[in-house]
Amino acid sequence: MTRYARGFGAVCVVVALMSGCGDDKHPAPEVQATNPPGSVSSAEKEKALATLKQRGMSIDGAGLYSAAAAGSFELVNLYLETGIDVNARDAHQRTALQVVAAGGNVPLGELLLSKGADVNAVDENGTSAVMDAAWEGNLAMVRLLAERGAQLSIKNKSGYSPLRAARDRNHKEVVDLLVSKGATE
């Protein structure tokens, strides 16, 4: 479990039970990102709102963040169809993309990015999605974020870069990828 998913307690459990955990035993539903940012029709928005309300889910950025932490493609897509900002932030200024990057859920990361997620957004500590992915050793996610323009040498307020985070955690493949892309400490 990533450092961001730990704090969600019952909310994550409810989301996971409702839509699948994304693992082999409880696969998350396949959802295609069909609407570019800002193109959700009012009928799609109303349908998504009704579905979320029927499930008893909060209709706000916290709900989007919780759905992302649980790895629920279906719920994340529903939240985005309501018109909620894909870059909505939690109390610590983290975005859904950051929590997904830490968890290494590449398909959900692709969905968020296709809907306009800011690949270089940072939280209150100056930590970005690529730093989260590097810290957790999520090679495929680091690759995706690098391909989408993530700043690979960005440093957080503690002076950590994605390369230093990966190196300190002994994620050799992530270190090699970051070095090959020109990242510095």
Reported as a single tens digit per residue, the pLDDT across 146-157 is 999 999 999 999
The pair of structure tokens assigned to 64 is 């989007």
- The superfamily in CATH containing domain 120-185 is Ankyrin repeat-containing domain (1.25.40.20)
- Give the percent of the chain with pLDDT over 90: 52
Average of per-residue pLDDT across 37-45: 59
The yes-or-no verdict on residue 23 having pLDDT over 70 is no
- Give the percent of the chain with pLDDT over 70: 71
Which of residues 60 and 116 earns the better pLDDT score? 116
pLDDT tens profile 122-181: 999 999 999 999 999 999 999 999 999 999 999 999 999 999 999 999 999 999 999 999
CATH fold group of domain 1-118: 1.25.40
Q: Which residues pair with 181 in a beta bridge?
A: none
The mean predicted confidence, pLDDT, of the chain is 79
Confidence of residue 11 (pLDDT cuts 50, 70, 90): very low
Predicted TM-score (pTM) of this structure: 0.74
Intervals of CATH 1.25.40.20 along the chain? 1-118, 120-185
Which of residues 8 and 156 earns the better pLDDT score? 156
pLDDT tens profile 102-115: 999 999 999 999 99
Separation of alpha carbons 53 and 74, rounded Å: 14
Average of per-residue pLDDT across 39-63: 68
